[in-house]
Amino acid sequence: MKSNAWLGALLALFGLLELATPGFTTSQTKDVVSFEDFKIQSTEQSTHTVPMALSASGLVLGLVFIGVGAYSRRAT
């Protein structure tokens, strides 16, 4: 398989995954108070969303790369 097709498969996979689950959550732990062996920590969660247009364009671009890779393999 050509490298174009592998790149297209990865782009299509990531685009499809982001269309299925349009967001992801990250968490960050910070020390609020630290005194000798005593610690108070705070965990803050943030939700990030990926725009649907970006996910769909990744999927379409991936499919185009797969097609280009398959066509160039067939032409040679």
Domain boundaries, the chain: 3-75
Mean pLDDT of 47-73: 89
More confident residue, 73 or 68: 68
Note the pLDDT tens digit of each residue in 8-52: 999 999 999 988 988 889 999 999 998 888 999 999 999 999 899
At residue 43, what are phi and psi to the nearest 5 degrees? -110, 125
Length in residues, the chain = 76
Closest CA to 40 of 49, 27, 31, 29: 31
Question: Looking at the predicted structure, is the pLDDT value of residue 1 above 60?
Answer: no
For the whole model, what pTM was predicted? 0.67
